[in-house]
Structure 1
């Protein structure tokens, strides 16, 4: 018997729950060959059955989950002797492709054996529907599921991954007294290796990238906020305002004070 629950489509941009429910299937119960507009994951709580996709049939058991992608035609059937019971959740959102890839669901992979996700799906089944919190709770559990799946990925990090992590760390922490040595230590790699692969991937060194991020943000603050030059310098990671002004002038050709004054003059001329 299937128990399907009501979901309000809130159109969350990143990860958006569409449907959820559970079913204790009768022996031989089957479903398939129906196209959907969203991703759908089934998690097998007990029993076993088969899942067919792209001409290949997989025998799945308790602790396995299988993924159906948007527009995909699949077929799945409960075992005649020990029919499965599963919990499902459907979702869409802009983050789905990247989250699924990082979770091991590549184009050639449509199922995973994840027994440690059992308690998470039990929690999912207990989420009451038609509540203001329903969709947020479902979204939280989806992120939890992807966290479990990603933790199983033991593949080595690539240079591109190290570069992406370095770039994101700098964008998030440019206001702090960070160094390339500290970033390399955090990533567990040699500083010279980090500098080499960063330069190869981006065309600039990590230090040059850090300066670029800081100065771009400084220019934004001078344009859009009431921060003084000293406050701007400290906001982007420079305690020495004179050093900040020197570096700023090297990039923009004028001092921070003149930069702001020129913007103010242009605004005044425009208003007149």
Structure 2
């Protein structure tokens, strides 16, 4: 550890590369400290998200015109571009903290998902023995620069986030429009996987009959017809824009074989897939 005027500190800094930035969140720095009696930080802002884990002692956090005293096992966070300050509170044991600073388009959402809010940026009694071990391991793995070491450190960071998540997500009351939107999202994502309306109903946790009723009211067609139309429209697009064979297209949009795809396609468009290909001079087989 390096000694400064107010603490003994060990910090690892990380500059993400293009690969890291493809993800939703990446570390910026990780640190450990042992505070001196004069320890104080801020008031200041940072452009990143941050979590401070209190390992020993006590700290007083100042935020948004409020203040709170936090102890061993508590965690406080810092939202980006928000002013905070904190200082040591005299106690029998010295203040000792570990912190993780991270960035990315999911960073702020992770703070919110793990129970922090700008008007209450702390959690009580959240650092158990298992998290202590993970924090130690994370600081050990972050010292390397190989891709394997970085991936291990990433996995430990996400393990910390997961430990802070509630066991069961809170789901707000759903409206029929919410269920239909969720059904459409499922169909758009998995239409090529041979899904059925029963699969859609199971996903949104509704009885098939009720789902069909509200879906038809909102969308204008039953979910079974919507699913067929989506598959056939996508199939026609592939016929016009790709060199895939008709068999490849049939299997790519969720049909079990070329025959069932051709029958459904001809009923919808008045031409067989081969006929569409002939009109555009494309590949037939």
SS of corresponding position for 2:193: coil
Contact 2:64 2:119 in 1 (8 A): no
1:94 maps onto 2:111 in alignment: no
Q: Pick one of 49, 72, 78 that aligns with 1:68.
A: 78
Q: Pick one of 168, 175, 180 that aligns with 2:192.
A: 175
Higher-Rg member (1/2): 2
1:189-228 deviation line (CA, Å, top 9, x unaligned): 4334545666677777544553454345434533454432
Match of 1:151 in 2: 166
Match of 1:118 in 2: 132
- Kindly state the Cα deviation for residue 107 of structure 1 after the two structures are TM-superposed: 4.2
Q: Which moved more, 1:192-201 or 1:104-113?
A: 192-201
1:54-93 deviation line (CA, Å, top 9, x unaligned): 1111222233222212211101123211343221111111
Q: Pick one of 8, 12, 17 that aligns with 1:10.
A: 17
**Where in structure 1 are there 5+ consecutive unaligned residues?**
266-272
Contact 1:49 1:83 in 2 (8 A): no
**Where in structure 2 are there 5+ consecutive unaligned residues?**
1-7
* Partners of 2:72 and 2:163 in 1: CA distance: 17
Contact 2:141 2:150 in 1 (8 A): no
Q: Over the residues paired in the alignment, what is the CA RMSD in angstroms?
A: 3.3
Contact 1:198 1:206 in 2 (8 A): yes
Match of 1:232 in 2: 249
Contact 1:7 1:129 in 2 (8 A): no
The aligned runs of 1:9-88 (5 Å cut-off) are: 9-11=16-18, 12-13=21-22, 14-27=24-37, 29-81=39-91, 82-88=93-99
Match of 2:116 in 1: 105
TM-score (norm 2): 0.75
Aligned residues: 265
* Partners of 1:200 and 1:84 in 2: CA distance: 61
Contact 1:64 1:115 in 2 (8 A): yes
